[in-house]
Chain A
């Protein structure tokens, strides 16, 4: 019998709030955290008005993690730890279970910490290397979020960090699903985190992928699938799940929030900066096959769609090829911006709330659907719908695609 994989806890850190219920409610009320960041202007190239949907974490919240653990965390790892703490608390996993060796930790981000990489580079340029913290290395290495969370809980099972830029969270959750299916672990704390900084903005700006329109307010800039979309808005945060073997969760009478019933990841092998509809479609087909489901079994597609002209076009073509216009589709990035390595986890956590409330959050700012994104059932205003099975996409630089299918009711 095929092993079944449950989600028994979910925690988030986001620019709209740090609880799923709160963020869902704000999304329903069409709130958007994107704002101008005058305080970042001096780190940008030339004269430029930066904007972002970044988490502004109060110091007192950060200090709820003791200094001993916090000292080795950049913001991405800090967000991951705070979100993981909520996820683990919700799951009810005991300290003994967490430290048994049968629980692992798979969390990743685009890079360890853009902010701390910048600080290190500035120390080199200023000849101040001797002033760097002993923990600087631990803040910037790629698996920083994974080991910081593992260390925080005393987790001593597998620790992995499949960093894949904007597919990081979904690949981490998918890898947790696979590890548990293989019988290697009973449960895994899994997801993604990221932090956005002026350097992150510049990375997208150089590639002409950052939204730009001086006539639009910050909250109007991200408009996935829209005719006049012109690029993404950078956001950040974390989305962490406790992924658990079904009978293990049942045996300890844990509340099961969702089932992961299918997962696939692939790459296009030809483009490092452009999405490719054919490989995205193939990834979704593989996930459907893994879940033993047909396209008509899916109640909603939570698109990756970041509001870039080519990325949205390619994903729309893939969704159209498989689902036509029969399945509702929306992207949360119109509201939240692109939370990068966190997006798959954070958006998946919001899907839990959509299902709980039988409501699909629409794509913000989608007033005129682009011709190259047409032919889908775009959700442009909140829509009542019972969500039993949901497909979530993530697509990343490097040509990476990842798809997870969640069952949210009728377990």
Chain B
């Protein structure tokens, strides 16, 4: 899965679920401070990412370390490398 595809899927969550304008979604943006998410939103972010990528994340320790949008992109680049089957499925989606 390309980084572009990961960015597209992650950003969809921020746009649809958190109603953030697309032009706000640049990699350096901090999730709490710049995008104004809070602890409840983070629970929903993890749920949204699980649904979008079909990867269980609740027990994933790396997810606790994300601070910026780019951290999410990088995490999913790593997860994509570990889960080629899921990547193949996602690549078929438009």
**CB-nearest residue of chain A relative to B58?**
A130
Is the C-beta of A68 less than 8 angstroms from some C-beta in chain B?
Answer: yes
Instruction: From B36, B40, B50, give the contact of A71 (CB < 8 A).
Output: B40
Is the beta-carbon distance between A68 and B36 smaller than 8 angstroms? yes
Query: Please, which residues of chain B bring their CB within 8 A of the CB of A67?
Result: 18-19
A71 to B58, CA, bound (A): 21
Is the beta-carbon distance between B51 and A131 smaller than 8 angstroms? yes
Query: Please, which residues of chain B bring their CB within 8 A of the CB of A130?
Result: 47, 50, 58
Chain A nearest CB, measured from B53 CB (Å): 14
Is the C-beta of A135 less than 8 angstroms from some C-beta in chain B?
Answer: yes
Is the beta-carbon distance between A133 and B47 smaller than 8 angstroms? yes
A134 to B44, CA, bound (A): 6
**CB-nearest residue of chain A relative to B36?**
A68
Query: Please, which residues of chain A bring their CB within 8 A of the CB of B18?
Result: 67
**CB-nearest residue of chain B relative to A63?**
B19
User: Given known contacts A67-B18, A67-B19, is B51 in contact with A135 (CB within 8 Å)?
Assistant: no
Query: Please, which residues of chain A bring their CB within 8 A of the CB of B47?
Result: 130-134
Is the beta-carbon distance between B40 and A135 smaller than 8 angstroms? yes
Query: Please, which residues of chain B bring their CB within 8 A of the CB of A133?
Result: 44, 47
Chain A nearest CB, measured from B36 CB (Å): 7
| A residues 52-104 touching B (CB-CB < 8 Å) | 63, 67-68, 71-72
| A63, A71, A72, A134 interface centre (most CB from chain B within 10 Å) | A134
B1-30 interface code vs A (CB 8 A; 1 in, 0 out): 000000000000000001100000000000
Contact count band on B: 10 to 19
**CB-nearest residue of chain B relative to A70?**
B19
**CB-nearest residue of chain A relative to B43?**
A134
A129-171 interface code vs B (CB 8 A; 1 in, 0 out): 0111111000000000000000000000000000000000000
A1-44 interface code vs B (CB 8 A; 1 in, 0 out): 00000000000000000000000000000000000000000000
What number of A residues sit within 8 Å (CB to CB) of B?
A: 11
Instruction: From A63, A131, A132, A134, give the contact of B40 (CB < 8 A).
Output: A134
A135 to B47, CA, bound (A): 12
Query: Please, which residues of chain A bring their CB within 8 A of the CB of B38?
Result: 68
A71 to B51, CA, bound (A): 19
Chain A nearest CB, measured from B46 CB (Å): 9
A63 to B36, CA, bound (A): 17
A351-372 interface code vs B (CB 8 A; 1 in, 0 out): 0000000000000000000000
**CB-nearest residue of chain A relative to B37?**
A68
**CB-nearest residue of chain B relative to A68?**
B36
**CB-nearest residue of chain B relative to A71?**
B40
Chain A nearest CB, measured from B55 CB (Å): 12
Chain A nearest CB, measured from B44 CB (Å): 5
Chain A nearest CB, measured from B39 CB (Å): 8
Chain B nearest CB, measured from A284 CB (Å): 45
**CB-nearest residue of chain A relative to B44?**
A134
Chain A nearest CB, measured from B27 CB (Å): 22
A100 to B44, CA, bound (A): 33
| B residues 29-66 touching A (CB-CB < 8 Å) | 36, 38, 40-41, 43-44, 47, 50-51, 58
**CB-nearest residue of chain A relative to B48?**
A131
A63 to B19, CA, bound (A): 10
Chain A nearest CB, measured from B47 CB (Å): 6
A72 to B58, CA, bound (A): 22
A393 to B41, CA, bound (A): 42
Chain B nearest CB, measured from A17 CB (Å): 27
Task: List 20 contacting pairs A-B, 8 Å CB cutoff, sorted by A.
Answer: A63-B19, A67-B18, A67-B19, A68-B36, A68-B38, A71-B40, A71-B41, A130-B50, A130-B58, A131-B47, A131-B51, A132-B47, A133-B44, A133-B47, A134-B40, A134-B41, A134-B44, A134-B47, A135-B40, A135-B44
- Could you tell me which B residues sit within 8 Å of A by CB distance? 18-19, 36, 38, 40-41, 43-44, 47, 50-51, 58
Using A71-B40, A72-B40 as known contacts, list a sample of 12 further A-B pairs with CB atoms less than 8 Å apart, ordered by residue number in A: A63-B19, A67-B19, A68-B36, A68-B38, A71-B41, A131-B47, A131-B51, A132-B47, A133-B44, A134-B40, A134-B41, A135-B40
9 residue pairs, one from A and one from B, having the closest CB atoms: A134-B43, A134-B40, A67-B19, A134-B44, A133-B44, A131-B47, A135-B40, A131-B51, A67-B18
